[in-house]
Amino acid sequence: MNSFSAVEIIVAKRDGNALSKEQIAWMIDQYTKGTIADEQMSALAMAILLNGMSRQETSDLTQAMVASGEKLNFASLGRPTSDKHSTGGVGDKITLILTPLIACFGIAVPQLSGRGLGHTGGTLDKLESISGWNAHLSNSQMLQQLKSVGAVISAAGSGLTPADSKLYSLRDVTGTVESIPLIASSIMSKKIAEGTKSLVLDVKTGTGAFMKSVERSRELAQTLVAIGTDAGVATRALITDMNTPLGRQIGNALEVQEAIEVLSGGGPNDVIEITIALANEMLAAAGLPVQDVADALSNGRALAKFEQLIQAQGGDLAKPLPSANESQTIYASSSGVLTELDALSVGIASWRLGAGRERKEDQVDHAAGITLHAQVGEQVTKGQALMTLHASSEDKFARAIEALDGSFKLSASAQTFERQVVLEKVQ
Ligand code: URA
């Protein structure tokens, strides 16, 4: 590998110049090895945040991060592989439903997932509500389960994209998280290293999402799709609404319960709509013809696949999910249509109830969270229950209720309406 000067590379990006593939590869390699110091990488991250990166630079950065660690390969399965990634939201339990659903159509789904941080939940925390469920599979265990079940949900091993792990922690403390090239290369490096051949991205937009505006979400979606395409992964994205929570349950065990409801043919309309839209995109990205995915939800096939997946990873669905000791219900003070229910406020309230963590090493309370008795667009009458908060102790309620102050609006003059959840498609 060529040798460069870290200062020259930082100065080039500071002055708005494009970096070469070799410069990017060298910088990431040396940073992973510890030769380039955190302060130099921080300066480069800030220069990237301020001056951006071209499509070529962003793809080169992604490939450099992929090259920093091991790459999984599922070619021996002899089956199409597909994966889904969500940029994160409140009440987003779609991975739990989509993974077994897609596996019903003969596609192998190697789903590497993460944990929640802040107001957004993580798939692994949710599934760990199930007694005995194991989130840590080795690469060979994953391959084995993909052969036997067709789907696996696991924590990414530490061998995958070590450069991203280091850079992500650094960005977190240097005000450089919000750069689209840095976010996109971080997400896509993990997905490319995971070895999937096709990928569907659920890019959330709104108050409860990482990207608050549709314009920024569109730019992120386009960048993610471009990187995937450049890397030979058939990639598509949907931009979906995250101004209000998804579904009626927010919190780990509560979301598992709602996912099982949808896998059993029921559940809230918004969750079903997003699941079906993403499932159709995953099948198309994997090269399969259109299929009746709704039927696989209502006829029990997807639920049976979910049960197999959980069992294969040591989970016992016969044991009851954890439930909270304490609950408190909030009632409507007037009648009207619920026109707003802010996702961020509900996410923060659920987090304060114990469903989320503040620092990486914190434990989550699997039973904590919020049940919504009304969703946006529904008619509510005065005195009707709006939501119930669940926590391990009563002292958690005051701060959660504080977060919910002003989070919902009831309009006496509005008509009931069906919320639009899927906003745009990028491919
Ligand atoms: N998720 C990631 O994996 N990386 C980011 O930078 C942001 C969200």
79 counts as catalytic: no
Nearest CA owner, ligand 1 atom 7: 183
- Residues 217-252 have pLDDT tens digits of 999 999 999 999 999 999 999 999 999 999 999 999
Kindly give, in sequence order, each residue whose CB lies less than 8 Å from that of residue 403, ignoring residues fewer than 6 positions away: 345, 348, 349, 352
pLDDT tens across 148-166, in order? 999 999 998 888 999 998 9
Which residues in the chain come in under a pLDDT of 70?
Answer: 117
Do residues 219 and 190 make contact, with C-beta atoms less than 8 angstroms apart? no
Q: Which of 113, 165, 186, 345 is catalytic?
A: 186
Gap from CA of 364 to ligand 1 centroid (Å): 21
The alpha carbon of residue 362 and the mean position of all alpha carbons in its chain are separated, in whole angstroms, by: 19
DSSP secondary structure code for residue 370 in this structure: E
Q: Among the options 13, 84, 85, 357, which is catalytic?
A: 85
CB 66 within 8 A of CB 195: no
CA nearest neighbour of 217 among 198, 236, 237, 244: 237
Return the half-sphere exposure (C-beta side, CA atoms, 13 A cut-off) of residue 183: 23
CA atoms within 13 A on the CB side of 278: 32
Q: Decide if 299 contacts 375 (C-beta within 8 A).
A: no
Distances (CA, A) of 332 to 335, 336, 410, 426: 7, 9, 8, 39
pLDDT value for 359:
74
Nearest-10 Cα torsion for 338, 342, 347, 348: -120
Sequence length of the chain is: 427
Predicted confidence at residue 90, as pLDDT, reads 96
The confidence score (pLDDT) of residue 116 equals: 78
SS3 of residue 326 by DSSP: strand
| pLDDT computed for residue 206 by the predictor | 97
Q: Give me the DSSP letters along 62-87.
A: HHHHHTTS-----GGG-S-BEEEEE-
342 among known catalytic residues? no
Q: Which of 125, 164, 241, 365 is catalytic?
A: 164
- Note if 197 is an active site residue: no
Annotated catalytic residue 212: no
**By alpha-carbon position, which residue is closest to atom 8 of ligand 1?**
183
List alpha helices for 2-70, DSSP H: 6-14, 21-33, 38-51, 55-66
For atom 5 of ligand 1, which residue has the closest CA? 183
Please give the distance, rounded to the nearest whole angstrom, from the Cα atom of residue 187 to the centre of ligand 1.
Answer: 5
Using the mean position of ligand 1's atoms as its centre, give its distance from the Cα of residue 18 in Å. 23
Question: Both tokens of residue 384?
Answer: 């009707």
Please indicate whether residue 186 is annotated as part of the active site: yes
Q: Write the residue with the smallest CA distance to atom 3 of ligand 1.
A: 187
Å from CA of 87 to ligand 1 middle: 8
pLDDT at position 377 is 98
How far is Cα 50 from Cα 174, in angstroms, rounded to an integer? 13
Contact between 409 and 340 (Cβ < 8 Å): yes
As for ligand 1, residues whose beta carbon falls within 6 Å of it are 168, 182-183, 186-187
Claim: this prediction has a pTM higher than 0.85:
yes
Q: Which residue from 53, 185, 187 has its CB within 8 A of the most atoms of ligand 1, so it is best to mutate? A: 187
Angle ∠(378,383,386) on CA atoms, nearest 5:
45
Closest by CA to 307, choosing from 259, 250, 269, 252, is 259
Report the distance separating Cα 98 and Cα 91, nearest Å. 15
Confidence at residue 169, expressed as pLDDT on a 0 to 100 scale:
87
Residue nearest to atom 6 of ligand 1 (CA): 183
